[in-house]
Structure 1
Amino acid sequence: MEMPKTTYLARAGRIMQRLEALAAISEDAEGVTRRFGTPAFVRGQQLVQGWAEAAGLHTRLDAIGNVRARLVSRRPGARTFVLASHIDTVVNAGKFDGPLGVLLGLDLLENLADQGAELPFHLELIAFSDEEGVRFHTTYLGSKVVTGAFESGLLARKDADGITLAEAIATMGGDAARIPHDALPAADWLGYFEVHIEQGPVLWERNLPVALVTAIAGQQRVELTWRGMAGHAGTVPMTMRQDALAGAAEFVLAVEQFGRQHAPELVATVGKLDVRHAASNVIPGEVSCSLDLRSPDAARLTTAAQQVQALAQAIAGRRQLHLTWSPVQTTAPATCDAGLNQLLARAIAEAGHEVVPLVSGAGHDAVPVSRVAPATMLFVRCFKGISHNPLENVELPDLAAAVEVSARFLTLLVTHFTEQETTQDT
């Protein structure tokens, strides 16, 4: 039976209320900041866990601090389909990046539980504890634990205050030794679905509520250190300087130009610049900067990193600077599953919306999950494409559209899976 649009609006309103309640929990009064393992994060974690328990779901916290809530199938040997996103944030974030997918997923499980739905597979909602990687500079901590890809060496990594990841886990009441036991075995995975704000302007400009994600760009992150010779700003002639900041500045512009030349298949960004012993009357002797390269094409990404490194070395050579090129993180591109995307596209169309395929330039927990299971994603329109910013916003009708599409997708998934089983049995 078709559900009226007003029902989806009402459900969206309840999700919005929960988003506001979660956003009120922050490390600071301005914006939203909930870094992994902080007291604010723990309070947010407890709030989400309480909502899941009140819905009658089988709920627990795992060792890394993921909130995990299951709607259990009675079918013997049932596998697990996961709905997930994250509840940690960047510093001075918005309300929707991550939590929207978690709380929309909770709404879906609540409604199925209220209906007494008999499912052919388990549905597990996961509120991942750390996707952003702000505190320990390690993205996808929560999803890597669930997929069995967590690296134990990360437990010794320290935050800016010298606290190790293992200590942060213990402070939250977790046990790092139990991390391997929290992985969902690869054979148990049926699939993965994540709803997320677009974090880009396409849907906003086209006035469309949702989009189908086809792939997620890979990333290469590098830290560069430029070393020259510090000197007195008033006494060293311009022709005799080894100015590390001037070299870094030339590199910043070169990266921007490189990104423009190779658009749209690649983006290139310098987002951080650190001048050591900075002073207005001193020629900078050492400067560090970041480099972020992204592309959905793995080969193009590798080639781009080599080309940008050559640009950097040429700049350093001309300016008589010493350059250190230190790779920080490499993430391969992920392609969403064709079968699940076909069902999701059908759900979008049946809800009365245009099916718009988009590649995500931002990383998501779907990336590590896609290594072990079929994954799909739904994007939701956000205000001017703004994200990682207190101006981040989603309008109620767009959220209602996402709820309807997601509900239809799960219905189609159940039907598809049941038909598959029937075919196999015969």
Structure 2
Amino acid sequence: MQEEYLARAERIMGRIEQLAAISEDPAGVTRTFGTPAFVRGRALVQSWLEAAGLATRVDGIGNLRGRLISRNPGAKTLVLASHIDTVVNAGKFDGPLGVLMALDLLENLAAKAISLPFHVKLIAFSDEEGVRFHTTYLGSRVVAGSFDPTVLARADAAGVTLAEALTAMGADASQIPADAIPAADWLGYFEMHIEQGPVLWERQIPVALVTAIAGQRRVELRFRGVAGHAGTVPMDRRQDALCAAAEFILIAEQFALHHDQGLVATVGQLTVRHAASNVIPGEVRCSLDLRSANEAQLADAYEALRTYTAAIATQRNVELEWNLVQQTAPVACDRNLNALLTQAITGAGHEAVGLVSGAGHDAVPISAVAPATMMFIRCFKGISHNPLENVELTDLAAAIEVADRFLVELKRNVELGIKN
């Protein structure tokens, strides 16, 4: 049996490599939402789904959907999903691994002629990372029925709106309202994903169940001072936007370090407008990514940092624009599905470790309409969003066995419910 799981893991790894070869940047893996590289990558995944006998379609936001129909026409639907978009200069596994593992599960069912008492939809979400339009969970929000149509007017750095990008990639935005899966149709949601943290790596454990996902607030900030000559404006008369931004960045770091206990703050973007070595910066834009699994802590940190930043702007005589662009509450995974996943993990001979995910996942919007569970897979040193991202073959084989067992447990659970 172990040889079978290793062979399946090798096949998944081969597909991971083929998909990673499709990139906007030939030197790395970059496949952001709506780009030609993204469309080519999606087409490759679609060819694999169709070869497995799944009926496929691309929905109004560019998600790729495959469907395995149960013999029971009135059955509910289990969704297996993850995303196939990437950050810039990404690793190979974040997102695609979950999609390709889900495909392997369905191929295994077909090969063994195993029928399920529920429908299965395999979804490759089009935009989880939010790199292009700063709108994470675009794909899963459509499926969950929580898509905000006003974001169709949002433009990327090149001035292309989301609506225009959808048209360019062959998606029909008018279909978005009909693409939601009604809450009554859901059986559950199962996502497989690399941990993106060091716990499993350090403890030498191949898989874990996710108990909760941290809440997140993303902010776009703009500091506006007065540009001036670097050699003629006295230091005590400057309205330096970059110095204000720098002070904010360090305060955000120190605030998170001081409070700790799961609170993290990151400034990942910094843009100096009309930057020159001999010009005092007059306008600076930057980002803030604030996360915690504790909603009260997250809200308090957000307000405290906003107050501190306003004080910085006042002291330095610069204008501040603070724009909240995304807000998600912490999410608890479904207790019943996690119990089944725990049985699958222990049944495969592994310790059942529960982890809180600091990273956001498509399970966040889905959890508002359906029971959701996630399985983490050990990755090299916990590294993610980096070309060093890697998964060992033996860990992947172990994860496949657990996923197989989870489907068996879910099948048994549903069949018992039907009988009763």
Q: How does the TM-score come out when normalised to structure 1? A: 0.96
The structure-2 alpha-carbon separation of the partners of 1:317 and 1:161, relative to structure 1 and needing over 3 Å to count, comes to: closer
1:14 aligns with 2:11: yes
Cα distance, 1:389 vs structure 2: 1.2
Other-structure match for 1:379:
376
Other-structure match for 1:402:
399
- Equivalent residue for 1:258, pick from 255, 260, 273: 255
The structure-2 alpha-carbon separation of the partners of 1:235 and 1:174, relative to structure 1 and needing over 3 Å to count, comes to: closer
Q: Which moved more, 1:106-115 or 1:320-329?
A: 320-329
The SS at the match of 1:40 is helix
1:36 aligns with 2:47: no
Please give the residue correspondences for 1:72-87 in structure 2 after superposition, counting only pairs within 5 Å.
Answer: 72-87=69-84
Other-structure match for 1:122:
119
CA distance in 2, matches of 1:225, 1:162: 19
CA distance in 1, matches of 2:406, 2:384: 26
CA distance in 1, matches of 2:275, 2:158: 23
1:285 aligns with 2:277: no
Write the deviation string for residues 18-64 of structure 1: whole angstroms up to 9, x where unpaired. Answer: 11111111112011111122211111111111111111122222222
Please give the residue correspondences for 1:209-248 in structure 2 after superposition, counting only pairs within 5 Å.
Answer: 209-248=206-245
The SS at the match of 2:356 is strand
The SS at the match of 2:193 is strand
- Equivalent residue for 2:142, pick from 142, 145, 148: 145
Q: Would you identify which runs of 4 or more consecutive aligned residues in structure 1 move more than 3 Å?
A: none
1:60 aligns with 2:81: no
The SS at the match of 1:177 is helix
Contact persistence 1:71–1:113 (CA under 8 A)? no
Cα distance, 1:258 vs structure 2: 0.5
Q: Which moved more, 1:189-198 or 1:56-65?
A: 56-65
The SS at the match of 1:308 is helix
**Aligned residue identity for 1:251:** F
1:343 aligns with 2:348: no
**Aligned residue identity for 2:404:** A
CA distance in 1, matches of 2:149, 2:322: 26
Write the deviation string for residues 343-363 of structure 1: whole angstroms up to 9, x where unpaired. Answer: 111111111111111111111
- Equivalent residue for 1:315, pick from 312, 316, 330: 312
CA distance in 1, matches of 2:86, 2:401: 26
Q: Which moved more, 1:147-156 or 1:44-53?
A: 147-156
Q: Which moved more, 1:175-184 or 1:365-374?
A: 175-184
Other-structure match for 1:422:
419
CA distance in 2, matches of 1:179, 1:243: 45
Other-structure match for 1:267:
264
Q: Which moved more, 1:355-364 or 1:230-239?
A: 230-239
Equivalent residue pairs, number = 420
Q: Which moved more, 1:148-157 or 1:103-112?
A: 148-157
Cα distance, 1:276 vs structure 2: 1.8
State the identity as a percent: 69
The answer for unaligned runs of 5 or more in structure 2 is none
The SS at the match of 1:181 is helix
CA distance in 2, matches of 1:265, 1:388: 20
- Equivalent residue for 2:349, pick from 333, 348, 352: 352
Cα distance, 1:234 vs structure 2: 2.0
**Aligned residue identity for 2:85:** D
CA distance in 2, matches of 1:301, 1:13: 41
**Aligned residue identity for 1:233:** A
CA distance in 2, matches of 1:228, 1:183: 45
Other-structure match for 2:300:
303
CA distance in 2, matches of 1:158, 1:242: 30
Q: Which moved more, 1:150-159 or 1:4-13?
A: 150-159
Cα distance, 1:126 vs structure 2: 0.7
The SS at the match of 1:249 is helix
Write the deviation string for residues 49-94 of structure 1: whole angstroms up to 9, x where unpaired. Answer: 1111111122222222211111111113101000000111111111
CA distance in 2, matches of 1:91, 1:30: 11
Cα distance, 1:152 vs structure 2: 1.7
Other-structure match for 2:389:
392
**Aligned residue identity for 1:288:** R
CA distance in 1, matches of 2:33, 2:301: 32
1:134 aligns with 2:131: yes
The SS at the match of 1:224 is strand
- Equivalent residue for 2:410, pick from 406, 413, 423: 413
CA distance in 2, matches of 1:348, 1:111: 19
RMSD: 1.3
CA distance in 2, matches of 1:350, 1:82: 23
CA distance in 1, matches of 2:204, 2:275: 46
Cα distance, 1:312 vs structure 2: 0.9
- Equivalent residue for 2:182, pick from 180, 185, 205: 185
The SS at the match of 2:246 is helix
